[in-house]
Amino acid sequence: MNYKDFFSADTGSFMRSPVREIFKRVDLSKIYSFAGGYPSAETFPTEVFERLAGEVLHKYGAKALQYGATQGVPELRQAVSERYGVPVENIQITTSSQQGIDVCTRVLVDPGDVVLVSCPSYLGALQSFASYRAEVVGLDLSPEAGASRISRIEALLAEGKKIKFFYAIPDFQNPSGETLTLEQRSSLVDLARKYNFLIVEDSPYRELRYEGSSVATIYSLAPERTLHLGSFSKIMAPGFRLGWIIGAPELLDMIYVCKQSLDLCPPILDQYIAAEFMAGGELDRNLSKSVALYRDKRDYMLSLLEKYMPAGVSWTHPEGGLFLFVTLPEGYDTVALYDRALNAGVAYVAGSFFFPDGSHRNTMRLNFSFLATERMEAGVKLLASLL
């Protein structure tokens, strides 16, 4: 049977994730994987979750297993409100921040509308933008590119395009590991105000900072035009599939209606567990352990790259998060190298997958959180030998 005739026009622009394709092909525990964005399993406090699940079922009974409010259970919205200092009515709980990205795009973007991104950018977001047939346009946020930013935006507007939002990952960006300075955030806000577009600020790594001091969120600089996305995946465990959106109640109201047709409500049992995890101080206790572990892993990874990478290879030095981005000399092709690397037993993600135009084939993203520390040296050594 030919099913193609049944698929919607949107499916024509769906993008398959090359990262997920890798996971289908290999058993991650058998290779040296720097590929996925997986947190370290060492950061999952299984026995705490076991206890909290019991306590939640005891405390809430059937309520924890029933449908709940689309905005999220009041206890979790309250806990997020207290932690991040925003009123409860500005908070929507999501079924992970991937859903946050998707739902924001779904309520804001018509086919052909422009979504601005900094390049490289998070693959899952690029997939979501493509699925709604947005035109994704890269905008350089470096201080020296001020004039080119303005002319790019003005050219798009002159063509009659509608710019709906800038998608930013300001803290320890996936994939580059880089953080936007306060000046960069402020000039992005100035642009958004001048040319009247919104900002979707996706910040799942914000609390994984290993050095330096935190920079104000874009939301705090422009609450009227920013949707801030948070996630429990990296500060608790991704298996809970929980995140949140902070934004103006008028924007959240449309997201609320949209979410009714997506999943009715975020997972209730998980939300109660997350609320208890926060209220009891477990989140902060666990987070400080995770930060210490990841700081050590990042430092070790940087020292291994220094030790083994051939001359001409450079990489970013992230102050937090889970990734660093490697640039090889011009002419190297990490897409072409990929199968050889996988056959040899080491995985990375080719950097070009994070560029909407598929450029920068001489780059790769390396994750340093997942692979056990004692296996990292052999993995980097193997990768370096292939280069």
Q: Which residues bind ligand PLP (CB under 6 A)?
A: 37, 96-98, 122, 124, 169, 174, 202, 204, 231, 233, 238, 243
Return the number of the residue (39 or 68) whose C-beta is nearest ligand PLP: 39
Q: Least distance in Å: CB of 205 to ligand PLP?
A: 7
Return the number of the residue (202 or 319) whose C-beta is nearest ligand PLP: 202
Return the number of the residue (120 or 337) whose C-beta is nearest ligand PLP: 120
Helices 97-108 and 123-131: crossing angle in degrees, nearest 10, is: 30
Q: Least distance in Å: CB of 298 to ligand PLP?
A: 16
Q: Least distance in Å: CB of 125 to ligand PLP?
A: 6
Name the residue type at position 258.
C
State CA 21 to chain mean position distance.
Answer: 18
Whose tokens are 């109201």? That residue is 253
The gap between the terminal CA atoms of the chain, to the nearest Å, is: 45
Q: Least distance in Å: CB of 196 to ligand PLP?
A: 25
The residue among 312, 287, 285, 284 whose CA lies nearest residue 384 is 312
Structure tokens at 168: 């930013």
Neighbouring-strand partners of residue 346:
32
What distance in Å separates the CA atoms of residue 72 and residue 66, rounded to the nearest whole number? 13
Return the number of the residue (223 or 238) whose C-beta is nearest ligand PLP: 238
Q: Least distance in Å: CB of 241 to ligand PLP?
A: 7
Q: Least distance in Å: CB of 322 to ligand PLP?
A: 8
What distance in Å separates the CA atoms of residue 235 and residue 241, rounded to the nearest whole number? 12
Alpha carbon dihedral 246, 249, 253, 256, in 10-degree steps, equals: 30
11 DSSP 8-state letter = G
The residue among 365, 329, 370, 332 whose CA lies nearest residue 348 is 365
Rg, C-alpha atoms of the chain? 21
Return the number of the residue (98 or 118) whose C-beta is nearest ligand PLP: 98
Q: Least distance in Å: CB of 375 to ligand PLP?
A: 21
The residue among 151, 154, 152, 146 whose CA lies nearest residue 187 is 146
Return the number of the residue (122 or 256) whose C-beta is nearest ligand PLP: 122
Return the number of the residue (156 or 188) whose C-beta is nearest ligand PLP: 188
Return the number of the residue (177 or 243) whose C-beta is nearest ligand PLP: 243
Reduced to 3 states, what is the DSSP secondary structure of residue 198?
strand
Beta strands, E only, 268-315: 314-315
Return the number of the residue (96 or 156) whose C-beta is nearest ligand PLP: 96
What distance in Å separates the CA atoms of residue 92 and residue 107, rounded to the nearest whole number? 14
Q: Least distance in Å: CB of 44 to ligand PLP?
A: 14
Q: Least distance in Å: CB of 122 to ligand PLP?
A: 4
Return the number of the residue (33 or 156) whose C-beta is nearest ligand PLP: 33
How many helices (H) and strands (E) in the chain?
Answer: 13, 13
CB 321 within 8 A of CB 170: no
CB 341 within 8 A of CB 383: yes
Q: Least distance in Å: CB of 1 to ligand PLP?
A: 34
